[in-house]
C-alpha cells in the first residue's frame, strides 16, 4: 500500500468534467501528434494501439496542455513513467475498439503522493465509468479470471493482476441494470461491492479529471474506434 495514504486522501475529490476546454484546432494538433509518435504497443489480438507522448515532439502543445491542466488542478508533477533517456513521458495515447477492463492507475512507486489523472477524448465514441470505490496499492488490473491472475512476469509499467478489490468492500451484488447498460464486458461477480459514481460520455473538447485511487473502466458502449489521451500526476 502507499506510504502516504493520509496525504493522498487530503487531495481527493469528486470527478470533474471540464467542457469546451480545447478548441477544434487544438484537438487536430493532438491527433496530428498521435499520428507522428512512434507506436509503443500494437496488440493485434485485442486491437489496441498505445503511443507514449514523448518530449520535444511539440513544445508548444506541451506548454498549452500543461497550463490548461495546471489551471484546473493547481501545481503538479507528471507521473507517466520514463522513456529510454530517463525523460518524463507526458501521457499515453490509446486507440481501441473494445472496452478496457476494471483497473486503477495508482502508480508504481508507493513513496509518491499520487494526485489526479486526466482523460482527453480525441474521438466522440466511448464512455468511461468511474466508481466510488478506491484502492491505495500499485496500479492494478482487477479480475477474477484465473489465467489472468497467474500472470506475474510483468514488463516495466505493466499493471499487476489482482482480485483484492473483492476483499475491500462488502460483497453487495452489483446493480444488474447498470451491468446490462454499461458493463456487459465485465463479469458481474467481478463488480461485487462496487458502486458507480459517474459515467463520462466522451465529448470532443472536454477533459475528465479524477483521483488516481478511483477504480474505473471503459463502458461497453463502443461503436467503432476510440482514441483518448491519458496523463497521470503526482505532488
Confidence at 47, pLDDT banded by 50, 70, 90: confident
Q: Please report, rounded to a whole number, the percentage of residues in the chain having pLDDT higher than 70.
A: 98
Q: How many domains does the chain have?
A: 1
Cα 150 to Cα 45, 156, 202: the distances in Å are 20, 18, 34
Mean pLDDT of 180-190: 95
How far apart CA 91 and CA 51 sit, in angstroms, is 9
The confidence score (pLDDT) of residue 195 equals 96
Residue 91: pLDDT over 90: yes
State the average pLDDT for the chain.
92
CA-based torsion, 164, 168, 174, 180: positive or negative: negative
Exposed, middle or buried: residue 157 (CB in 10 Å: 0-12, 13-18, 19+)?
middle
Residue 55: pLDDT over 70: yes
Mean pLDDT of 81-94: 84
Cα 85 to Cα 77, 88, 89: the distances in Å are 18, 9, 10
Cell of 106: 495508482
Residue 56: pLDDT over 90: no
The confidence score (pLDDT) of residue 106 equals 97
Q: Please report, rounded to a whole number, the percentage of residues in the chain having pLDDT higher than 90.
A: 76
Supply φ then ψ for residue 18, to 5 degrees.
-105, 115
Q: Of how many residues is the chain composed?
A: 235
The confidence score (pLDDT) of residue 40 equals 85
Cα 12 to Cα 69, 76, 103: the distances in Å are 16, 14, 18
How far apart CA 17 and CA 228 sit, in angstroms, is 15
Identity of the highest mean pLDDT range in 48-62, 73-87, 131-145: 131-145
Mean pLDDT of 148-171: 87
The confidence score (pLDDT) of residue 17 equals 98
CA-based torsion, 163, 169, 170, 175: positive or negative: negative
Q: CATH code at 44?
A: 2.60.120
The confidence score (pLDDT) of residue 133 equals 97
Q: What is the pTM for the complete model shown?
A: 0.93
Confidence at 46, pLDDT banded by 50, 70, 90: low
pLDDT: which is higher, 44 or 224: 224
The confidence score (pLDDT) of residue 98 equals 87
Structural domain span for residue 82: 5-234
How far apart CA 140 and CA 163 sit, in angstroms, is 9
Looking at the DSSP bridge assignments, the partners of residue 120 are 229
The confidence score (pLDDT) of residue 177 equals 96
The confidence score (pLDDT) of residue 33 equals 95
Lowest mean pLDDT among 74-83, 119-128, 206-215, 224-233: 74-83
Amino acid at each position: 500500500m502507499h506510504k502516504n495514504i493520509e496525504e493522498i486522501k487530503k487531495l481527493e475529490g469528486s470527478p470533474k468534467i471540464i467542457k469546451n476546454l480545447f478548441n477544434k484546432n487544438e484537438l487536430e494538433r493532438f491527433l496530428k501528434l498521435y499520428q507522428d509518435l512512434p507506436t509503443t504497443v500494437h496488440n493485434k489480438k485485442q486491437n489496441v494501439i498505445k503511443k507514449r507522448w514523448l518530449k520535444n515532439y511539440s513544445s508548444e502543445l506541451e506548454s498549452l496542455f500543461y497550463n490548461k491542466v495546471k489551471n484546473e488542478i493547481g501545481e503538479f508533477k507528471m507521473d507517466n513513467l520514463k522513456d529510454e533517456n530517463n525523460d518524463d513521458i507526458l501521457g499515453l495515447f490509446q486507440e481501441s475498439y473494445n472496452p478496457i477492463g476494471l483497473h486503477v492507475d495508482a502508480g508504481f512507486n508507493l513513496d509518491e503522493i499520487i494526485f489526479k489523472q486526466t482523460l482527453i477524448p480525441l474521438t466522440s465514441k466511448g464512455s468511461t465509468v468511474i466508481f466510488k470505490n478506491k484502492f491505495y496499492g500499485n496500479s492494478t488490473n482487477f479480475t477474477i479470471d484465473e489465467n489472468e491472475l497467474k500472470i506475474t512476469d510483468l514488463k516495466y509499467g505493466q499493471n499487476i493482476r489482482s482480485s483484492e478489490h473483492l476483499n475491500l468492500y462488502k460483497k453487495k451484488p452489483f446493480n444488474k441494470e447498470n451491468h446490462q447498460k454499461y458493463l456487459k464486458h465485465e463479469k458481474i461477480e467481478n463488480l461485487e461491492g462496487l458502486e458507480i459514481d459517474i459515467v463520462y460520455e466522451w465529448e470532443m473538447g472536454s477533459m475528465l479529471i479524477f483521483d488516481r485511487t478511483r477504480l474505473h473502466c471503459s463502458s461497453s458502449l463502443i461503436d467503432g474506434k476510440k482514441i483518448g489521451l491519458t496523463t497521470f500526476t503526482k505532488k
